[in-house]
């Protein structure tokens, strides 16, 4: 204890004394639980050690943090985070008869859900969830659950049998001595929610037999009619006598009132109040009947292009676009309060991701359609159309860390690992279990039990890397023909499917009709259409045709030289060609060369990936493929394009096909930070070199 100064006793638990202490190294207040172990039974000692084990496994903002543990004076000392706001039990007791607003109930409840989800993801049962074990921060805003002394770590999916927990919160199956699993924690969670809504426990009695009888009957007083029917039904579902009929945590989190509370939580927790002005937004734009449904947009003020766009960001950030009959790079308007760090585009979408996690869409002022031609002035290659930028509706209150586009659909990944999709659902690529269009971003419920850290969109399918219990897995869904999902079949799946992939994942990319994965050791695996050998999966054969591979249904290691020895950093795929960026900064291309998209005039004998001679003295930082063209960014900031030149694909005044990398007229003041190509157009976010560079 020489590192700590005892301040006072703050409680006495079942196994010891709880002290408030000051950590001498930094004056930080901590809680130290002193548990005498000399006279404890083996079971009691195991319970104390179990709390240390459980706390050390958990790391979540809504769980009491574990700092240290040590032995002193024949006692186990556990050093933990100090929650200054006391317990929720004390908070409710101090309110007297004044009920909480439903919004506040849900704000507290969703934090408990998030913490419990983290606990269950580690195969741990809390087994003593109650308002006395749920703490609050000083401002009564942040929830912290604790007291894992009798938590159960499950080594398998087997159920626990020991009767433990506070009697008022134990489930019917515990009362009967039956095995139980996570559904017992769901019962306790329902008791806590009931208590938040009524300020009273759901089940109370003067003695234990009477309490057990009440629990077994499952009868409790109704909640106040001031609360919504949705809240009432949520409580009833969690307090169902049959554990099999109780919802899982994922099902609880997918309830509409819970989803809204989860989204609102992103803005409430840690929000800094300020008096900055709010930008006025006019009434919502409405899509015309001819426009494809790719998501609802909130109308934003129109911003001037060119110099005005640069001025609005202090000369630091500019977004360039070309294609769709715009022949040379043109600047897109950026709202004055936005700094675009990442761009994404699909067949008819042009999107930008800002530093503060908002998503911007660019479209023509008329909103007649959202394709590249209307956005950038179809009908005249040199006439600039009126362009406006607006924030994508349905994402307020969440922080987006990645955005990706497919054909008429979009995926947005939040900083908490929640995947949201919207747009055209005809191919099942939205992952919602059906083939319906979705107008506003909707959570992919099947992935709520995991944390998604990367997403990629193909033309009609999607892939994601999901993390569950610190183990990464690959999930794919959507249209399944050509074997693009890597599931060993051609079946279309409207919900995410886990792919059997034995190697550690690093990155994955979806192409038009294929998918590739880069493992942690830099090896490339591919599945789907191998048209024109764009995946490098053709086999060596004396016959010109017998070695051709059309479709590959499972992820297959690409062993064609030089990929058998070189480590892959990134991959980009067009309709029938592929560009590969190695860790050495070398650009390799393979596949069809009908428009020069390989960057050289190919000898008929050359079918595998070849390095581009034009870049022999340069290092490539970024590479992207459109339908029949390629864009590459060198380490010295130069922009090169090659392939089909029609409709301004190559960003040059002449609409001619180009068989070798050629520089694009690009302002040398800017360094490209994000690049995306789709079909016949390109988006590029760049930062002024004279400004302080941002962390990538």
Catalytic residues: 128
What separation, in Å, do the N-terminal and C-terminal C-alpha atoms of the chain show? 43
3-state secondary structure of 213: helix
Could you tell me the two tokens for 691?
A: 């400004």
User: Whole-angstrom Cα distance, residue 177 to residue 421?
Assistant: 44
Taking the CA atoms of residue 599, residue 605, residue 607 and residue 610 in that order, the dihedral angle to the nearest 10 degrees is -50
For residue 580, give every residue at least 6 positions away whose Cβ sits within 8 Å of its Cβ, in sequence order, or none: 524, 563, 568, 570, 571, 587, 588, 589, 590, 609, 623
Token pair of 569 as six digits: 């950093």
**Whole-Å CA distances, 503 to 14, 462, 463, 507, 640:** 46, 20, 16, 12, 34
Q: Residue 120 in contact with residue 249, Cβ under 8 Å?
A: yes
**Measured between alpha carbons, how far is 179 from 184 in angstroms, rounded to an integer?**
10
Q: How far is CA 134 from CA 111, 112, 139, in A?
A: 10, 8, 15
Instruction: Give the integer Cα–Cα distance in Å for 680 and 629.
Output: 8
Helices marked H in 301-420: 307-312, 372-375
Alpha carbon distance 149, 228 (integer Å): 36
Q: Per the structure block, which two tokens stand in for 678?
A: 């789709």
Locus of tokens 């004056």: 27
Which are the contacts of 27, defined by CB distance < 8 A and separation ≥ 6?
A: none
H/E segment holding residue 248: none
Alpha helices in 383-432 (DSSP H): none
How many Å apart are CA 663 and CA 589, to the nearest integer?
Answer: 18
């Amino acid at each position: 204890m020489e590192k700590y100064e005892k301040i006072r006793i703050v409680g006495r638990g079942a196994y010891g004394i709880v002290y408030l202490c000051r950590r001498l190294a930094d004056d930080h207040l901590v809680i130290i639980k002193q548990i005498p172990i000399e006279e404890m039974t083996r079971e009691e000692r195991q319970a104390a050690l179990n709390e240390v084990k459980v706390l050390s496994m958990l790391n979540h903002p809504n769980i009491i943090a574990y700092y240290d543990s040590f032995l002193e004076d024949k006692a186990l000392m556990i050093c933990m985070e100090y929650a200054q706001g006391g317990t929720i039990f004390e908070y409710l007791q101090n309110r007297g008869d004044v009920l909480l607003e439903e919004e506040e109930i849900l704000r507290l409840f969703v934090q408990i859900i998030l913490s419990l989800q983290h606990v269950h993801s580690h195969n741990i049962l809390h087994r003593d969830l109650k308002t006395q074990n749920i703490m609050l921060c000083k401002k009564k805003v942040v929830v912290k659950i604790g007291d894992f002394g009798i938590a159960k770590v499950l080594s398998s999916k087997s159920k626990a049998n020991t009767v433990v927990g506070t009697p008022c919160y134990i489930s019917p199956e515990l009362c009967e001595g039956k095995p139980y699993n996570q559904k017992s924690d769901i019962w306790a969670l329902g008791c806590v929610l009931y208590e938040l809504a009524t300020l009273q426990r759901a089940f109370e009695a003067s003695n234990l037999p009477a309490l057990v009888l009440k629990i077994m009957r499952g009868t409790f007083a109704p909640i106040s009619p001031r609360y919504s029917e949705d809240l009432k039904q949520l409580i009833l579902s969690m307090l169902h006598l049959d554990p099999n009929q109780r919802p899982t945590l994922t099902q609880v989190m997918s309830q509409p009132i819970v989803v809204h509370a989860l989204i609102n939580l992103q803005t409430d927790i840690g929000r800094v109040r300020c008096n900055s002005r709010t930008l006025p937004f006019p009434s919502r734009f409405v899509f015309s009947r001819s426009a494809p449904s790719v998501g609802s947009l909130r109308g934003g003020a129109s911003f001037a292009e060119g110099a005005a766009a640069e001025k609005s960001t202090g000369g630091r950030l500019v977004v360039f676009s070309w294609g769709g009959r715009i022949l040379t790079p043109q600047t897109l308007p950026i709202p004055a309060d936005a700094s675009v760090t990442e761009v994404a585009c699909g067949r008819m979408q042009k999107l930008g991701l800002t530093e503060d996690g908002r998503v911007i869409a660019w479209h023509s002022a008329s909103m007649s359609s959202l394709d590249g031609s209307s956005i950038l002035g179809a009908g005249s290659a040199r006439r600039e159309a009126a362009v406006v930028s607006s924030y994508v509706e349905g994402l307020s209150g969440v922080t987006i860390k990645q955005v990706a586009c497919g054909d008429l659909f979009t995926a947005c990944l939040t900083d908490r690992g929640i995947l949201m999709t919207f747009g055209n659902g005809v191919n099942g690529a939205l992952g919602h279990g059906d083939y319906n269009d979705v107008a506003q971003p909707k959570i992919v419920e099947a992935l709520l039990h995991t944390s998604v850290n990367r997403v990629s969109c193909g033309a009609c399918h999607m892939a994601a890397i999901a993390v569950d219990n610190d183990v990464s897995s690959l999930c794919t869904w959507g249209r399944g023909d050509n074997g693009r999902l890597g599931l060993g079949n051609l079946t279309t799946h409207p919900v995410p499917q886990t792919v059997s992939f034995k190697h550690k994942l690093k990155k994955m990319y979806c192409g038009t009709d294929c998918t590739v994965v880069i493992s942690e050791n830099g090896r490339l695996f591919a599945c789907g259409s191998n048209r024109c050998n764009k995946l490098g999966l053709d086999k060596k054969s004396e016959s010109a045709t017998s070695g051709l591979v059309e479709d590959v249904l499972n992820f297959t290691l690409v062993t064609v030289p030089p990929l058998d020895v070189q480590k892959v950093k990134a991959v980009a795929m067009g309709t029938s060609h592929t560009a590969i960026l190695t860790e050495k900064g070398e650009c390799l291309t393979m596949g069809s060369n009908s428009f020069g998209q390989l960057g050289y005039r190919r000898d008929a004998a050359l079918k595998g990936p070849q390095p581009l001679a034009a870049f022999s003295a340069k290092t490539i930082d970024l590479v992207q493929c459109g339908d029949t063209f390629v864009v590459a960014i060198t380490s010295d900031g130069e922009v090169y394009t090659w392939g089909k030149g029609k409709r301004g694909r190559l960003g040059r005044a002449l609409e001619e096909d180009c068989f070798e990398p050629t520089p694009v007229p690009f302002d040398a003041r800017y360094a490209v930070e994000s690049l995306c190509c789709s079909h016949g157009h390109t988006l590029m976010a760049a930062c002024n070199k004279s400004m302080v560079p941002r962390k990538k």
